[in-house]
Chains A and B, each alone.
Chain A
Amino acid sequence: MSIAAPQAVRLVAGREISMRLRSKAFLISTGILMLAILASIIAGGILSASATAPKVAVVSETSSAVSALGSSGALELTTATSVQDAEQLVRDGTVDAAVVPASDPLGYEIVALDAAPTAVVQLLSVAPTVQLLEPSDNDGFLTYLIGIAFGVVFFMSAVTFGSTIAQSVVEEKQTRVVEILLSTITARQLMAGKVLGNSILAFGQIALIAVISSLGLTITGQSALLGALGAAIAWFVVFFVFGFVLIAALYAATAALVSRQEDVGSVTSPVTMLVMIPYFLVIFFNSNESVMAVMSYVPFSAPIGMPLRLFLGDAQWWEPLLSLVILLATTLLVIAIGSRIYANSLLRTGTRVKLSEALRG
């Protein structure tokens, strides 16, 4: 009747998940998070949609000059019967500007009410061809936003679920239930179940965020952005999976050193710092290629740095794979050391266990 290891891990993970799903605080905070994401996408959609094409009145003589812009949607054309008619349309605000015949070399001029209609002028201007030696596909602001988005999602998930693991570890120590658990399953199985259960919850939340943001982008007509982001998001998910397990193992191991909920915060703060540093680096250095290149290999920041570099097209095809191998190796190493700390500290209640003692056993 003894229990097989996978079954033990599955049971522990199942308990973690069901207890978490039953917590009202968790459900409400997840709901608020999802609403916030949806709201920001919809707000973004409305803002970009309100930037409509300028309305321009033309007369029969000038319609050929701007008809190309009209059919491409850059301008919204209204045909007026005469120049006076066109001017009247400008005066009463029906259009932003009118294009009327003139005797200058262009053959037409722009009539506007009280200010030069810059957008219309730019559209009708002839600009010299610009040749960029190092072209960039994306504008800086979008990069900044996406960087922050990856950073926020990773940071929030890691800290939220990481501290959940930490609390759950200490709860078992504080209530001594751990001793009953250890009489039938091993410390490693217990830790694996905890990390697995919370990882599944975190991945579920990430998947939900991905679905909601894809839906939101599609509904609000921003699917072009979605297409550009697709590969980066896919890589982000892959990196997130391993990166999260790494951080979860760290939280479990460090939390096992203390016996009271009050001490969880201080003992896990180094781990929180490890999660927070990449977040701030992304915000401050997202345009600095060398910082981003380093970040995309450091295991703690790779889940944020590498997808961003892929999105920017800065990374070679093999770079995410190499970074993933580094992350994977680090994760395995941390799990090995972490489960040792965990197993050696679980039954030591009272004062905080010294890290060196926990490692020695």
Chain B
Amino acid sequence: MNKLYALLARHNASLYLTMLAVFALMAYINGDKFLSAYNIGSMAYQLPIIGLLSVGMMISMLTGGINLSIIANANLNGIIIWQVLEFLTGPGRMKEAGTTAIVIAILAGFMVSGLVGLINGFLIAVFEIPDILVTLGTMTLIGGLNIVITRGYTITGFPASLNWIGNGQIYSIPVPILLFLLAVIITSVILYRTRFGFSLYMMGANATAARYSGVNLTRVIVAQYILSACFASLTSLVMIGQLNSIKSNYAESYLLVAVLASFLGGVDPLGGFGRIGGVLAATVILQIISSGLNLMRMDPFMITAMWGAIIIIIIFAKALTGVIKRHWQPTSQSGK
């Protein structure tokens, strides 16, 4: 019994099992189509978008918050890149932009997105406004700005070397996957091996005690939202390349997927707990499901419904494991 409990308790183990099961299921249903190089390749290109957004969301959820503005911010980032490129090369000529211009544009994107993160963090930390309200406000505001700047049009014609980030290859490995893995590695170092990361987890579990132990809550919250915003920027870079375009409201439906991936990956929605490996596994699972359903020519809305259903199922499953836990693992504290 205890062994079974230990297995259940190791959330990541059950996630990897789920991943295998889902993969096998989709391969069984879709046959060769699913295992084809083309499908695996396209999954590898799509995964980073969900993945980057999910990691960005996870960072906010670790403090018990939520970053509703992450997708609006990603779109803003693309718009800034477009504006800077046009500014540097002239209207309609951004395809000709050189490396310097592209680098400047990318940096400008990071700065503006980072600024949004800074505003989020500042309002949440200094005025103690609930995260959900602040990021709801910035999401609406930025979404509005995105429409104002683009007039609702889709903007195309990005330079090929910029698009390379989203659709290129290095030794036949998609660049976005490499970018995503690099971001994951850097983030795991930040989360597990720096003072900031340590403080983030402690603050998420008990902000008062963290403060009484010398954690500067304001600094952690602000840094957390800036880091989360960086993932919006990275997402934007990948999206530009894959879609060769930007729009005020791309990928809006991914907000749910990002929350779902964090939740499925074992991030406690109340904050303080969650591993990046879990979120990584969760995004792979979601990508496998999404690609598999697409191959089955499943209605995209069916997939949306499915995401919702998966959250509900996880809630039931967590309640179930909670029952098992209480049954087999008596804790000494419950008497209080």
A is bound by B: no
Residues on A lying within 8 angstroms of B by beta carbon are none
Residues on B lying within 8 angstroms of A by beta carbon are none
